[in-house]
Amino acid sequence: MQIAHIKQEINITDALMARINELLSHYPADKKKSALLPVLHEVQDAHDNWLSIELQDKVAEILEIKPVEVYEVVTFYTMFNQKPIGKYMFEFCRTSCCAIRGAEDLMDYTCQKLGIKEGETTPDGMFTVVGVECLGACGYAPMLQIGDYYKEHLTKEKMDALIEECKAGKIDLHKQDHYTE
């Protein structure tokens, strides 16, 4: 798949580098490559949720591996985005258990409401809707993933409310303090 070249500003902040070093400490010193997936997650989160080729090269440089070793991983795993996506990405689970409880209808409803098709992003760059495979929330269907979180037992009304919350900037995609919730 040819991806049109879109420039991405690369900014490996001190905080991000500290986190990367913490992750690297989880593996033997000569096994830096093992940290690739967790590091890619952190880097992607800090860069508008996508990874340009340049950014992947940067990760290769940090982990002291060949760029192609990063490319092959980024293209294999579905959670890594190779092009810009909306600020809020609704990932609807559409596998059997969710589908029989109305996931497909809810996804159609959301697409219609936002005026886009599955896989597309709204022109203002706010929302992306994608159908994904089983997210492990089968008993709480229909559901979607947004950022690090799941929204479960959804209805059209809840979907409307969620869209409004996103528009009002009330959704924190990577909240860290849920340990004692």
Partner 1 sequence: MGRKILLEHANVPGIKTYEVYRKMGGYTSVEKAIKSMTPDEVVEEVKTSGLRGRGGAGFPTGLKWSFIDKKSGNPRHLVCNADESEPGTFKDRYLMEYIPHLLIEGMITSSYALGANLSYIYIRGEYMWVYRILENAIKEAYAAGWLGKNILGSGFDLDLYVHCGAGAYICGEETALIESLEGKRGNPRIKPPFPAVKGLWQEPTVVNNVESIAAVPWIVNNSGEEYAKIGVGRSTGTKLISASGHIKNPGVYEIDLGLSVDEFMNSDEYLGGMMDDRPLKALVPGGSSVPILPAHLIYKNAEGGDRLMTYESLSEGGFATGSMLGSGGFIVYNDTACIVRNTWNFSRFYHHESCGQCSPCREGTGWLEGVLHRIETGHGREEDIDLLWDIQSKIEGNTICPLGDAAAWPVAAAIRHFRDEFEYHIRFPERIKNRDHFVAEPFEKVKHLVAKQEI
d(CA 58, CA 86): 23
> Could you tell me if 130 and 119 are in contact, meaning their C-beta atoms sit under 8 angstroms apart?
yes
Closest to partner 1 by CB, 165 vs 167, is 165
- Residue 179 near partner 1 by CB under 8 A: yes
Q: Which range in 23-31, 82-90, 120-128, 161-169 contacts partner 1 by CB under 8 A?
A: 23-31
Beta bridge partners of 130: 91
**Which residue carries 């495979």 as its tokens?**
133
Q: How far is the CB of 119 from partner 1 (least distance, A)?
A: 14
Which of 3, 9, 29, 76 binds partner 1 (CB under 8 A)? It is 76
DSSP 174: T
Contact status, residue 56 vs residue 44, Cβ threshold 8 Å: no
Binding site for partner 1 (CB under 8 A): 26-28, 31, 33-38, 40-41, 63, 65, 69, 72-73, 76-80, 94-97, 99-102, 104-105, 132-141, 145, 148-149, 176, 178-180
